């Protein structure tokens, strides 16, 4: 029997990259998974992959920055699975390489709406389902925020806002048995893969910041940390940020 047998989970941004890896591992451990992504094709692909491995999943197309779509996704999950026990907020539009003085309202809005507001909408929408019997929430931050990465102002601010609401919700919802934590992962996402191909020298230089000498694999390295956080292993841990980054934060 898997560690999450009988549990139901929502994973946003699960069509690819880190979200996909998390969805696959949670399903492997017995969770029924709602694969949420703005791209219906990639959402369906991940859901089919889960089912091919013997798990149970539904694919939901959702723009996390639109509350009505989030509400519909949550309702569809509850109808399909009967409960919502786990929420992983990974969805985020990545917009960077812009100096602070050149940031526009539109860039900041897109980043905050897809990241912070999407995370907030899902947390608020899932709360009624978790209030009665507890639950686990994991939000995804970034070293761009903790380190103040140059030329990534909107993205960094969004990720720090996500970590802030993580801590606030942990304080408010602990009495309901709801654990709210965050991770800051360093992983071989499609964006990093593209960067490696287009800027191989820069990518090679970046590896010097990793004591373990590599970026993490979404399914093998990042997802297991999330699995621990949404299992009973983390019942007494809340309001924390775990740096799942191969030790990169140690060298900064």
For residue 155, indicate whether it is catalytic. Answer: yes
3-state secondary structure the chain: CCCCCCCEEEEECCCCHHHHHHHHHHHHCCCEEEEEECCHHHHHHHHHHHHHCCCCEEEEECCCCCHHHHHHHHHHHHHHHCCCCEEEECCCCCCCCECHHHCCHHHHHHHHHHHHHHHHHHHHHHHHHHHCCCEEEEEECCHHHHCCCCCEHHHHHHHHHHHHHHHHHHHHHHHHCEEEEEEEECECCHHHHHHHHHCHHHHHHHHHHCCCCCCECHHHHHHHHHHHHHCHHHCCCCCCEEEECCCHHHHC
Q: Which of 121, 129, 155, 215 is catalytic?
A: 155
Q: How far apart are CA 158 and CA 164, in angstroms?
A: 10
Burial class (CB in 10 A: 0-12, 13-18, 19+), 196: middle
Q: How far apart are CA 166 and CA 182, in angstroms?
A: 7
DSSP-assigned beta bridge partners for residue 87:
10, 137
C-alpha 68: how far from chain center: 20
Q: Which residues are catalytic?
A: 155
């Amino acid at each position: 029997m898997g560690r999450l047998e009988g549990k139901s989970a929502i994973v946003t941004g699960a069509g690819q990259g880190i979200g996909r890896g998390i969805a696959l591992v949670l399903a492997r451990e017995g969770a029924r998974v709602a694969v949420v992504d703005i791209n219906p094709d990639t959402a369906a692909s991940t859901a089919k992959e889960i089912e091919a491995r013997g798990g149970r999943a539904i694919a939901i197309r959702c723009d996390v920055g639109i509350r009505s779509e989030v509400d519909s996704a949550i309702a569809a999950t509850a109808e399909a699975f009967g409960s919502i026990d786990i929420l992983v907020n990974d969805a985020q539009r990545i917009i960077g390489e812009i100096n602070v003085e050149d940031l526009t309202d539109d860039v900041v809005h897109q980043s905050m709406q897809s990241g912070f507001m999407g995370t907030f909408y899902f947390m608020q929408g899932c709360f009624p389902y978790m209030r009665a019997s507890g639950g686990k929430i994991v939000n995804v931050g970034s070293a761009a925020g903790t380190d103040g990465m140059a030329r990534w102002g909107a993205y960094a601010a969004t990720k720090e806002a996500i970590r802030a609401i993580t801590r606030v919700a942990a304080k408010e919802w602990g009495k309901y048995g709801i654990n709210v934590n965050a991770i800051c992962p360093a992983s071989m996402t499609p964006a990093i893969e593209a960067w490696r191909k287009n800027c191989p020298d820069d990518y090679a230089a970046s590896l010097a910041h990793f004591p373990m000498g590599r970026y993490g694999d979404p399914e093998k390295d990042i997802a297991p940390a999330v699995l621990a956080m949404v299992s009973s292993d983390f019942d007494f841990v809340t309001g924390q940020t775990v740096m799942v980054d191969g030790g990169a934060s140690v060298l900064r």
